[in-house]
Amino acid sequence: MVEEMTMSTPGRGLHEFTPAVRAVVAQAGVREGLCTIFVRHTSCSLTIQENADPSAKHDLEVWLNKLVPEHDPIYTHTAEGPDDMPSHIKAALTATSLSIPIMERALVLGMWQGIYLWEHRRAAHTRHVVVHVGGA
Amino acid sequence: MVEEMTMSTPGRGLHEFTPAVRAVVAQAGVREGLCTIFVRHTSCSLTIQENADPSAKHDLEVWLNKLVPEHDPIYTHTAEGPDDMPSHIKAALTATSLSIPIMERALVLGMWQGIYLWEHRRAAHTRHVVVHVGGA
Amino acid sequence: MVEEMTMSTPGRGLHEFTPAVRAVVAQAGVREGLCTIFVRHTSCSLTIQENADPSAKHDLEVWLNKLVPEHDPIYTHTAEGPDDMPSHIKAALTATSLSIPIMERALVLGMWQGIYLWEHRRAAHTRHVVVHVGGA
């Protein structure tokens, strides 16, 4: 089963969508298998991170912005705005696809793991994520 | 086939577990397929790296500790210790899941590739890794 | 279906091979499924990045070389040349495997996404990439 989902992001930061992925897995109805999540963009990405304390995702965002600042004089790819090239770099350093096994009809996520779309652009965007579920 | 394995890490560093993954693949008995490895934590991660010269994994560890130091004044997520927030960042920069094709009943790992659990916390930990094998 | 492909890289930089992956998917003939790409080396890696403006891949290369320079005094793994240890670090920060769902017999890549082998060594190399296609 393959399902495309559309998400609206309010701008930069980690936006959790674990419930939407769990819903696709439930609908697929496989007992044992593999769920793969893929983001169809190069200026946002995916990550699995702590879902308990919001300070963790805040710090991830601040740290990555410091590592990959806007207006670095090395950038030549500047036509799409000062936040575009940093977004591509951040996407390359994190994940475009993630795979999570399924056991007993559920994702094997750890207790503190949530699935996040990491928006790297400043403006609100509509993002497309594809979820594939295989198994039996 | 999905199998959960438990690993004890002695603290920070890259800990190889290629033989344990090969054992799951052998048990699954598929001739051609895909093996996916998933770690159920957000303060350790996975990587495939050189398994020949131990100096490579030593340098990876030292370099990443320099890039993501403890006690960075930007951290607000400090309740779980000075090594916790750096661990989440390191996990985001490396991998939570890895997929390796299977041909002729064996992982297609290159000659110098080993599969590692990268422990980012200072203390010893018990870690849970799930291995999925699909195919026929 | 699993297929190994051999690629010649002229040295450092992002080298696109999307058409070769599409050809394997077409040959596999699955309507809905999952395509996984795996690189059998630890001194080059995989990334999905913008395929429109070549300045984006140029900046990715320049930025990563600045983050992970040669001749860092922390390196002890130096026997294979000054570009070897930086290559392992760059591989750890990017991807060794990537998975892309297949819908209606095609990869669900976004309009601006291309699949790249990221060569991190200075010299030309022959690289081996394995593509697995599952589904029905």
> What residues 24-63 of chain A have any CB closer than 8 A to a CB of chain C?
34, 36, 38, 40-42
Residue A13 near chain B (CB below 8 Å): no
Interface test with C, best of B31, B37, B60 (most C CBs within 10 A): B60
Q: Which amino acid is at C79?
A: A
B touches which chains (3+ CB pairs under 8 A)?
A: A, C
pLDDT of residue B49: 97
Asked if A82 and A43 count as a contact pair (C-beta separation under 8 A), the reply is no
**pLDDT by residue, tens only, chain B of 136 residues:** 999 999 999 999 999 999 999 999 999 999 999 999 999 999 999 999 999 889 999 999 999 999 999 999 999 999 999 999 999 999 999 999 999 999 999 999 999 999 999 999 999 999 999 999 999 8
Averaged pLDDT score across all residues of chain A: 97
The pair of structure tokens assigned to A114 is 């949530």
A12-46 pLDDT per residue, tens: 999 999 999 999 999 999 999 999 999 999 999 99
Cα–Cα distance measured from residue C28 to residue C51, given in angstroms and rounded to the nearest whole number: 25
Can you give the C-alpha Rg of chain C in angstroms?
A: 16
Residue A10 domain-assigned (yes or no): no
Provide the H-helix boundaries in C1-136.
18-28, 54-67, 84-93
Q: Which phi and psi angles does B55 have, rounded to 5°? A: -65, -25
Can you give the C-alpha Rg of chain B in angstroms?
A: 16
Q: Which amino acid is at C42?
A: T
Cα–Cα distance measured from residue C130 to residue B12, given in angstroms and rounded to the nearest whole number: 31
Residue A81 domain-assigned (yes or no): yes
H or E element at residue B91:
helix B84-93
Cα–Cα distance measured from residue C103 to residue C35, given in angstroms and rounded to the nearest whole number: 11
pLDDT of residue B117: 98
Task: Report the complex ipTM.
Answer: 0.97
Residues in chain A with CB shorter than 8 Å from the CB of C93 are 93
Q: What percent of chain A has pLDDT over 90?
A: 98
Cα–Cα distance measured from residue A86 to residue C60, given in angstroms and rounded to the nearest whole number: 9
Choose among A38, A19, A46, A39: nearest CA to A107: A19
pLDDT of residue A18: 98
Q: How far is A11 from chain B (nearest CA, A)?
A: 19
Closest chain A CA to residue B38: A100
The pair of structure tokens assigned to C106 is 């095609």
Residue with the two structure tokens 């203390």: B123
Residues in chain A with CB shorter than 8 Å from the CB of B2 are 32-33, 101-103, 108
Q: How far is C72 from chain A (nearest CA, A)?
A: 18
A85-102 pLDDT per residue, tens: 999 999 999 999 999 999
**pLDDT by residue, tens only, chain C of 136 residues:** 999 999 999 999 999 999 999 999 999 999 999 999 999 999 999 999 999 889 999 999 999 999 999 999 999 999 999 999 999 999 999 999 999 999 999 999 999 999 999 999 999 999 999 999 999 8
Q: How far is C84 from chain B (nearest CA, A)?
A: 9
User: In DSSP terms, which residues pair with A18 in a beta bridge?
Assistant: none
Q: Do B130 and A47 touch (CB under 8 A)?
A: no
Domain count, chain A: 1
The pair of structure tokens assigned to B54 is 């131990």
Question: What's the domain range around A114?
Answer: 27-39+69-136
The pair of structure tokens assigned to C78 is 């130096």
Q: Which amino acid is at B80?
A: E
pLDDT of residue C47: 98
User: In DSSP terms, which residues pair with B117 in a beta bridge?
Assistant: B15, B46
Nearest to A36 among C59, C99, C103 (CB): C99
pLDDT of residue A23: 98
Q: Do B101 and C131 touch (CB under 8 A)?
A: yes
Nearest to B103 among C2, C36, C77 (CB): C2
Q: Do A49 and B91 touch (CB under 8 A)?
A: yes
Q: Which phi and psi angles does B80 have, rounded to 5°? A: -95, 15
H or E element at residue A93:
helix A84-93
Cα–Cα distance measured from residue B20 to residue B2, given in angstroms and rounded to the nearest whole number: 13
- Here the CATH number for the domain that contains residue B94 is 2.60.120.460
| Helix, strand, or coil (residue A133) | strand
CA distances from B130 to A23, A34, A97, B38 (A): 21, 11, 17, 5
User: In DSSP terms, which residues pair with C127 in a beta bridge?
Assistant: C7
